[in-house]
């Protein structure tokens, strides 16, 4: 039986929620999104939440709101998805890559502090695979540089915690992705949360062309209302058609986490005695269990992918090191020796299926394939 890499959790009621929006005059951002934004404020116990049409566009809106642009630097980990770095380029700034911790694969406060320059305006710590970075430690490491914003890349970490705190508690903003494979999804989308009222005011504009009023507000009442353009913004608002898919998923995310945890524990028990490497634990972190990644000697990783695919098992690679992908290598001249931890992890990692609808039987097939096909490959490859 094939085992897909991912399946969403949406049930048939999701179609009814979309049908209700279709029956209204307005398909774009409106009353449904506003209710979801309230749900997000309650979930994260935070004053400001904005739905966005992707993590990427939301991060561009955030950088524009913070006036990060040409001549500025944004510190990002070398082990992440390309979007974390691309958003700096998209506003004309320079992403400054930092290698990650060899055990946790998270960006470390000391490494960030070492990369800070007079041009640094933001840091984008990535809660990779669902484990949260040390944000109070990061703030402390930045010392007196209060002009440096911390923008959390929480694309993998909607329901994660660190020392009991959710994303958004120790940063200027935290940004989530609701992309198709994420723990909370509406196909494409995301959200920004912030405690900062001034940033929230600016974000409300940069999320929508820099306009002074949302379409829903411009259309209220019978009389047309003029709007103004107050700053440069992008188009990052989420339509109600997609927002309608979110409420049950947000409400059920913690109970689905229990299933993710059970699946991850079964993988860990099965691979404990093998030479496969897993990311190390993060102290104090409640893992959102977004991805289950293993690491093999780079020389046999791609053969392992082929072997799993031949058994009908979907896998992905999260991620190859960003600085040595063609665009960044050609733009900044980075080589594999510049970020050795990210390079080595990225050359040897692969991600196995992990989602609440994965059955025990399907997972047993994945485990058997890894033990029968992948582990022998690793044993043959090891020096």
Active-site residue numbers?
A: 182
86 versus 212: smaller Cβ distance to ligand PLP: 86
Helix (H) / strand (E) element for 112: namely: helix 109-115
107 versus 369: smaller Cβ distance to ligand PLP: 107
Shortest distance (Å) from residue 242 CB to ligand PLP? 12
In DSSP terms, 165 is beta-bridged to: 162
* CA 136 to chain CA centroid, nearest Å: 20
Q: Which residues bind ligand PLP (CB under 6 A)?
A: 54-56, 80-81, 83-84, 126, 153, 155-156, 177, 179, 190
Count the Cβ atoms, other than its own, within 10 Å of residue 359. 11
Composition of the chain by helix, strand, coil, percent to 5? 40, 15, 45
- Name the burial class of residue 258, with classes exposed (0-12), middle (13-18) and buried (19+) by CB atoms within 10 angstroms of its CB: exposed
Residue whose token pair is 């749900």: 39
- C-beta nearest to ligand PLP: residue: 55
Shortest distance (Å) from residue 14 CB to ligand PLP? 19
Strands 173-177, 149-153: pairing is parallel
Q: What is the CA radius of gyration of the chain?
A: 21
Structure token digits, residue 253 = 């995310």
What own/partner pairs with CB < 8 Å and gap ≥ 24 does 330-334 have? 334/97
153 versus 240: smaller Cβ distance to ligand PLP: 153
For the chain, the distance separating the N- and C-terminal CA atoms, rounded to the nearest angstrom, is: 35
Shortest distance (Å) from residue 190 CB to ligand PLP? 5
Shortest distance (Å) from residue 83 CB to ligand PLP? 4
171 versus 177: smaller Cβ distance to ligand PLP: 177
Shortest distance (Å) from residue 243 CB to ligand PLP? 14
Residue 238 DSSP label? P
What own/partner pairs with CB < 8 Å and gap ≥ 24 does 101-105 have? 101/341, 102/341, 103/279, 103/280, 104/131, 104/279, 104/280, 104/281, 104/282, 105/79, 105/129, 105/279, 105/341, 105/342, 105/345
Is 98 in contact with 75 (CB distance < 8 Å)?
A: yes
243 versus 307: smaller Cβ distance to ligand PLP: 243
């Amino acid at each position: 039986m094939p085992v897909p890499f991912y399946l969403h959790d949406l049930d048939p009621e999701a179609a009814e929620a979309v049908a209700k929006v279709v029956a209204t005059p307005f398909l774009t951002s409106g009353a449904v999104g506003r209710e979801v934004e309230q749900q997000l404020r309650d979930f994260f116990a935070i004053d400001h939440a904005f739905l966005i049409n992707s993590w990427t566009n939301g991060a561009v809106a955030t950088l524009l709101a913070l006036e990060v642009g040409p001549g500025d630097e944004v510190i990002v980990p070398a082990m992440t998805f390309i979007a974390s770095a691309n958003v700096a380029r998209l506003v004309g700034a320079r992403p400054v890559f930092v290698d990650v911790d060899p055990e946790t694969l998270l960006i470390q406060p000391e490494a960030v502090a070492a990369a800070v320059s007079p041009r640094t305006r933001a840091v984008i710590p990535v809660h990779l695979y669902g484990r949260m970075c040390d944000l109070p430690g990061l703030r402390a490491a930045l010392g007196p540089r209060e002009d440096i914003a911390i923008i959390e890349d929480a694309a993998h970490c909607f329901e994660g915690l660190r020392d009991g705190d959710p994303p958004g508690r120790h940063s200027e903003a935290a940004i989530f992705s609701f992309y198709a494979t994420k723990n909370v999804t509406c196909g494409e989308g995301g959200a920004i949360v912030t405690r900062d009222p001034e940033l929230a005011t600016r974000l409300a504009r940069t999320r929508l062309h820099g306009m002074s009023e949302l379409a829903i507000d411009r259309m209220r009442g019978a009389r047309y209302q003029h709007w103004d353009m107050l700053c440069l913004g992008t188009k990052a608002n989420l339509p109600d058609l997609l927002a309608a898919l979110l409420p049950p998923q947000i409400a059920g995310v913690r109970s689905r986490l229990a299933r993710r945890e059970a699946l991850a524990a079964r993988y860990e028990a099965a691979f404990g005695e093998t030479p496969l490497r897993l990311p190390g634990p993060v102290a104090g972190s409640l893992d959102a269990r977004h991805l289950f990644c293993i690491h093999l000697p780079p020389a046999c990783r791609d053969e392992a992918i082929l072997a799993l695919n031949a058994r009908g098992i979907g896998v992905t690679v999260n991620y190859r090191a960003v600085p040595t992908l063609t665009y960044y290598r050609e733009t900044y001249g980075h080589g594999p020796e510049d970020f050795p931890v990210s390079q080595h992890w990225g050359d040897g990692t692969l991600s196995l299926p992990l989602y609440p609808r994965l059955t025990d039987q399907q997972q047993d097939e994945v485990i058997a394939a890894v033990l029968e096909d992948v582990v022998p490959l690793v044993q043959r490859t090891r020096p």
